[in-house]
């Protein structure tokens, strides 16, 4: 079992990482469970930069394999907002307030112009300090109200076909989501490097 520290204590995120990586023989633990209490300032201008900032901060302390992701929502009609500010959009860390704000800002915007995507950038640092990056995108559009009980963040307003991301089962979401795509790229990379050893 390869132990990896996830640079997050978000239980939803931890579950998604475990679902994809544990079958490969990876034990994924949160930074909290690893006893690491550090919150580096995410001052990058891209998801890739922010995920690298988080991964490097944890690696510096733990000196073992680390995974960090930075992800968020880009809404085309809002010029790519909330983007890297997705988790603190509108100056709050409240998911419902974030969803309400996006819906409010899109008032009067027709369906065809409500295109959006979730983006996930993962930085993986192996035990030897080698860095790799993986990017996943999940295309959809913004709905008019919150729907569904699954997921978190902007999932209730992110529509894919006729349903919201929060109406998908975890399995359905993992198969198509931005984080699922980036994680599968990471999983392929880990598989390749393990088979080369």
Phi, psi of 168 (to 5 degrees): -85, 150
Which 3 state secondary structure label does DSSP give 29?
strand
What pTM value is reported for the model? 0.89
How many contiguous H segments (helices) and E segments (strands) does the chain have?
Answer: 5, 7
Query: What is the tens place of the pLDDT at every residue in 168-179?
Result: 988 888 888 998
Query: What is the tens place of the pLDDT at every residue in 101-123?
Result: 999 999 999 999 999 999 999 99
Q: Which residues are catalytic, by number?
A: 70
Cα R_g (the chain), whole angstroms: 17
Alpha-carbon dihedral angle through residues 76, 80, 81, 82, given to the nearest 10 degrees? 110
Domains (range + CATH), the chain: 2-196 (3.90.950.10)
Query: What is the tens place of the pLDDT at every residue in 66-103?
Result: 999 999 999 999 999 999 999 999 999 999 999 999 99
Q: How far apart are CA 194 and CA 189, in angstroms?
A: 9
């Amino acid at each position: 079992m390869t132990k990896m520290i996830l640079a997050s204590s978000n239980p939803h995120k931890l579950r998604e990482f475990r679902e994809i990586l544990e079958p490969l023989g990876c034990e994924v633990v949160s930074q909290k469970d690893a006893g690491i209490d550090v919150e580096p300032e995410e001052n990058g201008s891209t998801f890739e930069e922010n995920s690298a900032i988080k991964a490097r901060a944890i690696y510096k302390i733990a000196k073992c394999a680390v995974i960090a992701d930075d992800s968020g929502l880009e809404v085309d009609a809002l010029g790519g907002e909330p983007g890297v500010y997705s988790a603190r959009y509108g100056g709050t860390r409240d998911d419902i307030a974030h969803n309400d704000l996006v819906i409010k800002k899109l008032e009067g915007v027709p369906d065809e112009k409500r295109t959006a995507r979730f983006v996930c950038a993962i930085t993986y640092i192996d035990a030897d300090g080698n860095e790799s990056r993986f990017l996943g995108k999940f295309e959809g559009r913004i709905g008019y109200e919150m729907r569904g009980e699954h997921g978190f963040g902007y999932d209730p307003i992110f529509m894919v076909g006729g349903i919201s991301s929060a109406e998908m089962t975890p399995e359905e979401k993992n198969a198509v989501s931005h984080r699922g795509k980036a994680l599968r790229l990471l999983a392929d990379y880990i598989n390749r490097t393990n088979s080369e050893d």
